[in-house]
Amino acid sequence: MKKTVIVVGGGFAGINFVKKLDENLFDVILIDRLNHHQFQPLFYQVAMSQIEPSSISFPLRHIFRKKKNVRIRLAEVLQVLEKENKIITSIGEYSYDLLVLAMGCKVNFYGNEAIAAHALTLKTTYEAIGIRNHILQTFEDIISATEEQKESLLNMVIVGAGPTGVELAGSFAEIKKNILPRDYPRIDFSKLKIILIEGSEAPLNSMSESAKEASFKYLKNMGIEVITKTFVTQYDGINLILSNGHNLKTRNLIWSAGIIANTIEGLSKECLTHGNRLQVDRYNQIQGTDNIFALGDLAYMETPNYPKGHPQLANVAINQAKNLALNFKLKAQNKSLKPYEYVNLGTMATIGRNKAVVDLPFIRFNGFVAWLVWMFLHLMLILSVRNKLIIFINWAVAYATKDTALRLILTDIQRKKP
């Protein structure tokens, strides 16, 4: 008789686990709050009007249309009843033989509720569209703004100089140079400031010294003001207070300064560790449980090569998922399980047109070739051939013309009552 596996989360970990799970041995219930998988590495391009959100969003039912053992439920998981082998969701209870948690992370505001109330974030396709709407509306507002109001409108601030922050800053610089002056010829864009704030000593601080130096140089040459070793302490929607005492006025704050794992009720607090991650063994089984597992950003696994846990990267999530699917099959066949160890194939980030940095285990490089490598590898990770072609065409047209035609403000316009 097939065992029932409940998978919570349709991100990189959840999708790849279900894909690799033996359908002759297991029935799957995949539960997610969204009906689609989101390709997070390209959220910034949606936010910057470079590609459409549909290009990086993949309906779960379409992905698994040929998997007869997979049922999909659109719901929020509220609680795990560990002793009863059940979960409680917003649409009812479900029983499981094996439970796999792959809910990923959310933005970390480090307890500062004021910043959380006013900052823009980039963790979902919906939020990417929200940033696009906000930024485009900002330039519409500048046209009729007073000189006093323009200062806060013309300051674009990004907090966090990891890959997302650096990629956003580079995209801002490019549209400032190539696109906005044509769309808004009466705005003086020499006054538009792009400010990137980072708490550590350099942008892309987790990468190699050569990558940090190259990215800093690229950002500076693109006219981006990079502020390092500085934290945001307060933000009220206009006034941004920094740890060095400076006060910046901005209505445009994008927060990409950290993540924290999503949590679920019902699990013992003893299995929680750094950043709300769940302590797991080498087989992704949660500490103190018999049949509950965690994958990807949610899982904290200590190994000889990574004694402080694996980095929260898509490649880690994908390979943990594949390994766990294999182990479920091996266990069903009473065979020895395979412990997981992350093999670092490299990290990379793009800063803009012809500008990227790549750290591979055997070589490090930057510039045009790095940019081509970045584009190729991200394109290969896109799920469908159709979407690969759409994104490639968009990139090719944008490269040739230094322009896109995707600058739509998509908001719900409320009609005023008479």
pLDDT, tens digit, for every residue of 169-192?
Answer: 999 999 999 888 888 888 889 999
Q: Are both 130 and 241 inside the same structural domain?
A: yes
Give the pLDDT of residue 289: 93
pTM over 0.95, yes/no: no
- Classify the phi-psi angles of 58: left when phi > 0, otherwise alpha if psi is within -120 to 50, otherwise beta: beta
DSSP 304-372: SS-TT-----HHHHHHHHHHHHHHHHHHHTT------------EEEEEETTEEEEE-SS-EEESHHHHH
Give the pLDDT of residue 343: 87
Q: Last residue of a domain, which of 257, 286, 308?
A: 257
148-169 tens-digit pLDDT: 899 999 999 999 999 999 999 9
Confidence of residue 418 (pLDDT cuts 50, 70, 90): very low
112-147 tens-digit pLDDT: 999 999 999 999 999 999 999 999 999 999 998 998
Is residue 346 a part of any domain in this protein? no
Tracing tokens 């600058």 back to the chain, one arrives at 407
How far apart are the C-alpha atoms of 37 and 13, rounded to whole Å? 11
Give the pLDDT of residue 1: 83
Strand order through the sheet with 355-359:
347-352, 355-359, 364-366
Domain carrying residue 267: 3-33+75-107+259-332
Residues 148, 27 contacting (CB under 8 angstroms): no
Question: What 8-state DSSP symbol labels residue 155?
Answer: E
Rg (alpha carbons) of the chain, rounded to whole number: 23
Query: What's the domain count of the chain?
Result: 2
Is residue 215 a part of any domain in this protein? yes
Q: Are both 118 and 209 inside the same structural domain?
A: yes
Is residue 355 a part of any domain in this protein? no
Residue 92 in tokens = 């009812």
Where residue 316 sits, what CATH number does that domain have?
A: 3.50.50.60
Nearest Cα to Cα of residue 293 among 308, 283, 303: 283
Contacts of 54 (CB under 8 A, 6+ apart): none
